[in-house]
Structure 1
Amino acid sequence: MTSAKSTLALMAAGVAATCVAGAATTTHAAADVAPPCKITDFTTSLGPVQAGAGQRYSTLDFTAYGGRTCVLSDDLTNFQFLGAQGRPLPTDAVAPGSSTAITIAPGVVGHLDLHWTVVGGTPFVPVSLIFTMPADDGTNAAPWTGGPVNGAGRIDVGPLHA
Protein backbone atom coordinates (compact mmCIF):
# COMPACT_ATOMS: atom_id res chain seq x y z
CA MET A 1 0.00 0.00 0.00
CA THR A 2 2.85 2.37 0.72
CA SER A 3 4.00 2.00 -2.86
CA ALA A 4 0.49 2.81 -4.17
CA LYS A 5 0.29 5.90 -1.92
CA SER A 6 3.73 7.01 -3.10
CA THR A 7 2.71 6.54 -6.70
CA LEU A 8 -0.49 8.56 -6.16
CA ALA A 9 1.46 11.29 -4.37
CA LEU A 10 3.99 11.46 -7.22
CA MET A 11 1.18 11.57 -9.80
CA ALA A 12 -0.57 14.37 -7.90
CA ALA A 13 2.70 16.30 -7.66
CA GLY A 14 3.21 15.81 -11.40
CA VAL A 15 -0.28 17.14 -12.17
CA ALA A 16 0.31 20.14 -9.89
CA ALA A 17 3.70 20.83 -11.50
CA THR A 18 2.12 20.61 -14.96
CA CYS A 19 -0.62 23.06 -13.94
CA VAL A 20 1.94 25.51 -12.54
CA ALA A 21 4.10 25.18 -15.66
CA GLY A 22 1.02 25.69 -17.85
CA ALA A 23 0.10 28.83 -15.91
CA ALA A 24 3.61 30.18 -16.36
CA THR A 25 3.45 29.53 -20.10
CA THR A 26 0.09 31.27 -20.35
CA THR A 27 1.41 34.28 -18.42
CA HIS A 28 4.48 34.41 -20.66
CA ALA A 29 2.31 34.20 -23.81
CA ALA A 30 0.06 36.99 -22.52
CA ALA A 31 3.14 39.18 -22.01
CA ASP A 32 4.08 38.62 -25.69
CA VAL A 33 0.78 40.03 -26.99
CA ALA A 34 1.35 43.34 -28.78
CA PRO A 35 -0.41 46.47 -27.49
CA PRO A 36 -3.21 48.10 -29.50
CA CYS A 37 -2.05 50.39 -32.32
CA LYS A 38 -2.17 54.13 -31.89
CA ILE A 39 -2.72 56.61 -34.71
CA THR A 40 1.02 57.40 -34.62
CA ASP A 41 2.10 53.75 -35.10
CA PHE A 42 1.46 53.54 -38.84
CA THR A 43 1.18 55.42 -42.10
CA THR A 44 -1.92 55.15 -44.25
CA SER A 45 -2.28 55.16 -48.03
CA LEU A 46 -4.79 54.10 -50.67
CA GLY A 47 -3.85 50.97 -52.58
CA PRO A 48 -4.25 50.42 -56.33
CA VAL A 49 -7.79 51.09 -57.61
CA GLN A 50 -9.73 48.44 -59.54
CA ALA A 51 -12.52 49.84 -61.74
CA GLY A 52 -15.47 48.48 -63.69
CA ALA A 53 -19.04 49.50 -64.59
CA GLY A 54 -19.02 52.54 -62.30
CA GLN A 55 -17.71 50.53 -59.32
CA ARG A 56 -14.36 51.14 -57.64
CA TYR A 57 -12.43 48.86 -55.29
CA SER A 58 -9.24 49.50 -53.37
CA THR A 59 -7.70 49.05 -49.95
CA LEU A 60 -6.75 51.44 -47.22
CA ASP A 61 -3.22 50.26 -46.43
CA PHE A 62 -1.64 50.53 -42.98
CA THR A 63 2.14 50.25 -42.73
CA ALA A 64 3.67 50.04 -39.25
CA TYR A 65 6.80 52.02 -38.49
CA GLY A 66 8.87 53.23 -35.60
CA GLY A 67 10.15 49.82 -34.50
CA ARG A 68 6.89 49.01 -32.72
CA THR A 69 4.63 45.99 -33.24
CA CYS A 70 0.96 46.56 -32.44
CA VAL A 71 -2.51 45.11 -32.91
CA LEU A 72 -4.66 46.99 -35.41
CA SER A 73 -8.42 46.60 -35.21
CA ASP A 74 -10.92 47.51 -37.92
CA ASP A 75 -13.14 49.37 -35.46
CA LEU A 76 -12.09 52.62 -37.15
CA THR A 77 -14.77 55.30 -37.11
CA ASN A 78 -15.70 58.76 -38.33
CA PHE A 79 -14.55 58.28 -41.92
CA GLN A 80 -14.70 61.62 -43.70
CA PHE A 81 -13.80 62.68 -47.22
CA LEU A 82 -12.04 66.02 -47.33
CA GLY A 83 -11.70 68.44 -50.21
CA ALA A 84 -9.38 71.37 -50.78
CA GLN A 85 -8.38 73.31 -47.65
CA GLY A 86 -9.68 70.43 -45.48
CA ARG A 87 -13.32 71.13 -46.38
CA PRO A 88 -15.60 68.20 -45.38
CA LEU A 89 -17.33 66.50 -48.30
CA PRO A 90 -20.42 64.26 -48.17
CA THR A 91 -19.43 60.95 -46.59
CA ASP A 92 -21.57 57.90 -45.89
CA ALA A 93 -19.21 55.20 -44.59
CA VAL A 94 -20.76 51.78 -44.08
CA ALA A 95 -18.59 49.51 -41.93
CA PRO A 96 -18.80 45.73 -41.39
CA GLY A 97 -20.80 44.47 -38.45
CA SER A 98 -17.92 42.45 -37.02
CA SER A 99 -14.54 43.40 -35.64
CA THR A 100 -11.29 41.99 -36.94
CA ALA A 101 -7.79 42.55 -35.59
CA ILE A 102 -4.35 41.83 -37.02
CA THR A 103 -0.84 42.27 -35.69
CA ILE A 104 1.36 44.57 -37.72
CA ALA A 105 5.09 44.93 -37.29
CA PRO A 106 7.42 47.52 -38.84
CA GLY A 107 7.19 47.21 -42.59
CA VAL A 108 4.15 44.87 -42.47
CA VAL A 109 1.09 46.13 -44.31
CA GLY A 110 -2.51 45.63 -43.16
CA HIS A 111 -5.36 46.25 -45.61
CA LEU A 112 -8.92 47.48 -45.10
CA ASP A 113 -11.12 46.78 -48.15
CA LEU A 114 -12.95 49.77 -49.66
CA HIS A 115 -15.72 49.94 -52.27
CA TRP A 116 -17.40 53.00 -53.76
CA THR A 117 -19.21 54.00 -56.90
CA VAL A 118 -19.13 56.99 -59.22
CA VAL A 119 -22.78 56.49 -60.19
CA GLY A 120 -25.43 58.76 -58.66
CA GLY A 121 -25.48 62.45 -57.89
CA THR A 122 -22.70 64.72 -59.02
CA PRO A 123 -19.41 62.92 -58.38
CA PHE A 124 -16.63 64.77 -56.56
CA VAL A 125 -12.92 64.08 -56.14
CA PRO A 126 -11.71 64.11 -52.51
CA VAL A 127 -8.20 65.17 -51.53
CA SER A 128 -8.02 62.78 -48.56
CA LEU A 129 -9.95 60.31 -46.42
CA ILE A 130 -9.62 60.71 -42.66
CA PHE A 131 -10.71 58.46 -39.79
CA THR A 132 -10.34 58.05 -36.05
CA MET A 133 -9.57 55.10 -33.79
CA PRO A 134 -11.89 54.70 -30.78
CA ALA A 135 -9.02 53.62 -28.51
CA ASP A 136 -6.84 56.61 -29.44
CA ASP A 137 -7.36 60.35 -29.73
CA GLY A 138 -6.57 61.96 -33.05
CA THR A 139 -7.18 61.34 -36.70
CA ASN A 140 -5.20 59.82 -39.53
CA ALA A 141 -5.44 60.94 -43.15
CA ALA A 142 -4.79 58.97 -46.31
CA PRO A 143 -4.24 60.99 -49.47
CA TRP A 144 -7.13 60.12 -51.82
CA THR A 145 -5.85 58.78 -55.13
CA GLY A 146 -9.06 56.88 -55.96
CA GLY A 147 -10.59 59.43 -58.31
CA PRO A 148 -14.27 60.44 -58.21
CA VAL A 149 -16.80 59.33 -55.59
CA ASN A 150 -20.59 59.43 -56.08
CA GLY A 151 -22.43 62.54 -54.92
CA ALA A 152 -23.65 60.93 -51.68
CA GLY A 153 -20.09 60.01 -50.71
CA ARG A 154 -20.97 56.40 -49.93
CA ILE A 155 -18.01 54.17 -49.20
CA ASP A 156 -18.26 50.57 -48.02
CA VAL A 157 -15.55 49.67 -45.52
CA GLY A 158 -14.78 45.95 -45.52
CA PRO A 159 -12.81 43.69 -43.23
CA LEU A 160 -9.21 44.17 -42.17
CA HIS A 161 -6.67 41.61 -43.40
CA ALA A 162 -2.92 41.13 -43.73
Structure 2
Amino acid sequence: MTGAKSTLVLTAAGVAVAACVAGATPTSAAADAAPLCKITDFTTSLGPVQAGAGQRYSTLDFTAYGGRTCVLRDDLTNFQFLGERARPLPTDADAPGSGNGVTIAPGVVGHLDLHWTVVGGTPFVPVSLVFTMPTDDGANAAPWTGGPVNGAGRIDVGPLHT
Protein backbone atom coordinates (compact mmCIF):
# COMPACT_ATOMS: atom_id res chain seq x y z
CA MET A 1 0.00 0.00 0.00
CA THR A 2 2.80 2.40 0.85
CA GLY A 3 4.50 1.74 -2.50
CA ALA A 4 1.26 2.60 -4.35
CA LYS A 5 0.96 5.91 -2.52
CA SER A 6 4.58 6.76 -3.27
CA THR A 7 4.09 5.92 -6.93
CA LEU A 8 0.92 8.00 -7.04
CA VAL A 9 2.65 10.93 -5.34
CA LEU A 10 5.65 10.69 -7.66
CA THR A 11 3.40 10.45 -10.71
CA ALA A 12 1.34 13.45 -9.58
CA ALA A 13 4.50 15.42 -8.81
CA GLY A 14 5.96 14.48 -12.20
CA VAL A 15 2.82 15.74 -13.95
CA ALA A 16 2.81 18.95 -11.92
CA VAL A 17 6.45 19.65 -12.72
CA ALA A 18 5.88 18.94 -16.40
CA ALA A 19 2.87 21.28 -16.42
CA CYS A 20 4.82 24.02 -14.64
CA VAL A 21 7.78 23.77 -16.97
CA ALA A 22 5.57 23.79 -20.05
CA GLY A 23 3.62 26.87 -18.91
CA ALA A 24 6.40 28.86 -17.26
CA THR A 25 7.67 30.97 -20.11
CA PRO A 26 9.78 33.31 -17.93
CA THR A 27 11.85 30.48 -16.48
CA SER A 28 12.16 28.40 -19.63
CA ALA A 29 15.35 28.22 -21.66
CA ALA A 30 13.78 30.46 -24.32
CA ALA A 31 13.04 33.18 -21.75
CA ASP A 32 16.52 32.96 -20.26
CA ALA A 33 17.97 33.48 -23.72
CA ALA A 34 15.71 36.45 -24.53
CA PRO A 35 17.10 39.91 -23.72
CA LEU A 36 15.32 42.31 -21.41
CA CYS A 37 12.90 44.51 -23.31
CA LYS A 38 13.89 48.06 -24.08
CA ILE A 39 11.27 50.78 -24.28
CA THR A 40 11.57 50.65 -28.10
CA ASP A 41 10.99 46.87 -28.36
CA PHE A 42 7.21 46.96 -28.00
CA THR A 43 4.04 48.91 -28.62
CA THR A 44 1.58 49.66 -25.87
CA SER A 45 -2.20 49.97 -26.03
CA LEU A 46 -5.15 49.97 -23.67
CA GLY A 47 -7.26 46.82 -23.79
CA PRO A 48 -11.06 46.70 -23.73
CA VAL A 49 -12.60 48.60 -20.80
CA GLN A 50 -15.08 46.93 -18.46
CA ALA A 51 -17.27 49.20 -16.34
CA GLY A 52 -19.57 48.92 -13.36
CA ALA A 53 -20.74 51.17 -10.49
CA GLY A 54 -18.19 53.91 -11.20
CA GLN A 55 -15.31 51.41 -11.46
CA ARG A 56 -13.29 50.75 -14.62
CA TYR A 57 -11.01 47.81 -15.43
CA SER A 58 -8.70 47.22 -18.37
CA THR A 59 -5.20 46.09 -19.23
CA LEU A 60 -2.18 47.87 -20.57
CA ASP A 61 -1.15 45.56 -23.42
CA PHE A 62 2.44 45.10 -24.62
CA THR A 63 3.13 43.70 -28.08
CA ALA A 64 6.66 43.10 -29.37
CA TYR A 65 7.59 44.72 -32.68
CA GLY A 66 7.84 42.38 -35.66
CA GLY A 67 9.61 39.13 -34.91
CA ARG A 68 11.32 40.35 -31.76
CA THR A 69 11.26 38.42 -28.50
CA CYS A 70 12.19 39.98 -25.16
CA VAL A 71 11.47 39.72 -21.45
CA LEU A 72 9.31 42.53 -20.10
CA ARG A 73 9.66 43.19 -16.37
CA ASP A 74 6.92 44.66 -14.18
CA ASP A 75 9.12 47.42 -12.75
CA LEU A 76 7.57 50.15 -14.87
CA THR A 77 7.65 53.56 -13.20
CA ASN A 78 6.65 57.21 -13.50
CA PHE A 79 3.13 56.62 -14.78
CA GLN A 80 1.69 59.92 -15.98
CA PHE A 81 -1.62 60.84 -17.56
CA LEU A 82 -1.26 63.42 -20.29
CA GLY A 83 -3.89 65.72 -21.75
CA GLU A 84 -3.93 67.78 -24.93
CA ARG A 85 -0.50 69.10 -26.01
CA ALA A 86 1.18 66.64 -23.62
CA ARG A 87 -0.03 68.60 -20.59
CA PRO A 88 0.54 66.56 -17.38
CA LEU A 89 -2.67 65.65 -15.55
CA PRO A 90 -3.07 64.47 -11.95
CA THR A 91 -1.71 60.92 -11.69
CA ASP A 92 -1.40 58.64 -8.68
CA ALA A 93 -0.16 55.20 -9.78
CA ASP A 94 2.18 52.53 -8.49
CA ALA A 95 3.31 49.41 -10.33
CA PRO A 96 3.98 46.15 -8.43
CA GLY A 97 7.72 46.47 -9.08
CA SER A 98 8.49 42.89 -8.05
CA GLY A 99 11.01 42.41 -10.86
CA ASN A 100 8.93 39.56 -12.28
CA GLY A 101 8.81 39.33 -16.03
CA VAL A 102 7.04 37.74 -18.94
CA THR A 103 8.35 36.90 -22.37
CA ILE A 104 6.64 38.76 -25.17
CA ALA A 105 7.22 37.28 -28.58
CA PRO A 106 5.37 37.04 -31.89
CA GLY A 107 1.79 36.17 -30.99
CA VAL A 108 2.29 36.67 -27.23
CA VAL A 109 0.99 39.84 -25.58
CA GLY A 110 1.89 40.95 -22.06
CA HIS A 111 -0.88 42.49 -19.95
CA LEU A 112 -0.66 44.78 -16.93
CA ASP A 113 -3.97 44.96 -15.04
CA LEU A 114 -5.40 48.46 -14.46
CA HIS A 115 -8.25 49.66 -12.24
CA TRP A 116 -9.56 53.20 -11.82
CA THR A 117 -12.71 55.01 -10.81
CA VAL A 118 -14.66 57.94 -12.18
CA VAL A 119 -15.99 58.82 -8.72
CA GLY A 120 -14.42 61.65 -6.74
CA GLY A 121 -13.23 65.07 -7.73
CA THR A 122 -13.90 66.38 -11.21
CA PRO A 123 -13.22 63.54 -13.65
CA PHE A 124 -11.03 64.24 -16.66
CA VAL A 125 -10.31 62.34 -19.88
CA PRO A 126 -6.58 61.80 -20.59
CA VAL A 127 -5.16 61.57 -24.09
CA SER A 128 -2.45 59.08 -23.11
CA LEU A 129 -0.79 57.20 -20.27
CA VAL A 130 3.01 57.43 -20.27
CA PHE A 131 5.50 55.34 -18.28
CA THR A 132 9.22 54.66 -18.10
CA MET A 133 11.40 51.63 -17.40
CA PRO A 134 14.15 52.03 -14.80
CA THR A 135 16.50 49.91 -16.93
CA ASP A 136 16.11 52.02 -20.07
CA ASP A 137 16.08 55.65 -21.18
CA GLY A 138 12.97 57.13 -22.72
CA ALA A 139 9.25 56.70 -22.21
CA ASN A 140 6.43 54.80 -23.86
CA ALA A 141 2.91 56.18 -24.28
CA ALA A 142 -0.33 54.29 -24.68
CA PRO A 143 -3.22 56.20 -26.23
CA TRP A 144 -5.88 56.48 -23.52
CA THR A 145 -9.17 55.02 -24.70
CA GLY A 146 -10.50 54.33 -21.20
CA GLY A 147 -12.72 57.39 -20.85
CA PRO A 148 -12.85 59.51 -17.69
CA VAL A 149 -10.59 59.11 -14.65
CA ASN A 150 -11.40 60.49 -11.18
CA GLY A 151 -10.06 63.94 -10.33
CA ALA A 152 -7.12 62.60 -8.32
CA GLY A 153 -5.93 60.49 -11.25
CA ARG A 154 -5.70 57.37 -9.08
CA ILE A 155 -5.00 54.21 -11.07
CA ASP A 156 -4.22 50.85 -9.50
CA VAL A 157 -1.63 48.87 -11.45
CA GLY A 158 -1.77 45.12 -10.99
CA PRO A 159 0.51 42.23 -11.90
CA LEU A 160 2.07 41.62 -15.30
CA HIS A 161 0.91 38.45 -17.05
CA THR A 162 0.42 36.90 -20.48
Tell me the TM-score normalised to structure 2 length. Answer: 0.79
Q: CA deviation at 1:97?
A: 5.6
Q: Tell me whether 1:158 sits opposite 2:133 in the alignment.
A: no
Q: Which structure: larger Rg?
A: 1
Q: CA deviation at 1:84?
A: 0.2
Structure 1 runs not aligned, ≥5 long: 1-28
Judged with a 3 Å threshold, the aligned counterparts in structure 2 of structure 1 residues 52 and 145 are, in CA distance, closer, same or farther, namely same
* Stretches (4+) displaced over 6 A: none
Say what the alpha-carbon RMSD is for the aligned residues: 1.6
Query: Residue by residue, what CA displacement relative to the aligned partner does 1:4-50 show, whole Å, maximum 9, x if unpaired?
Result: xxxxxxxxxxxxxxxxxxxxxxxxx5995211001111100000000
Q: Tell me whether 1:143 sits opposite 2:143 in the alignment.
A: yes
Which residue is equivalent to 1:57?
A: 57
Equivalent residues of 1:65, 1:107 under 8 A apart: no
Q: CA deviation at 1:106?
A: 2.3
Q: Distance in 2 between matches of 1:52 and 1:100?
A: 30
Judged with a 3 Å threshold, the aligned counterparts in structure 2 of structure 1 residues 148 and 30 are, in CA distance, closer, same or farther, namely closer
Structure 2 runs not aligned, ≥5 long: 1-28
Equivalent residues of 2:45, 2:61 under 8 A apart: yes
Which residue is equivalent to 1:38?
A: 38
Q: Distance in 1 between matches of 2:108 and 2:39?
A: 16
Identity of aligned residues (%): 89
Equivalent residues of 2:79, 2:94 under 8 A apart: no
Q: CA deviation at 1:90?
A: 0.2
Judged with a 3 Å threshold, the aligned counterparts in structure 2 of structure 1 residues 71 and 90 are, in CA distance, closer, same or farther, namely same
Q: Distance in 1 between matches of 2:81 and 2:107?
A: 26
Q: Would you say how many aligned residue pairs link Structure 1 and Structure 2?
A: 134
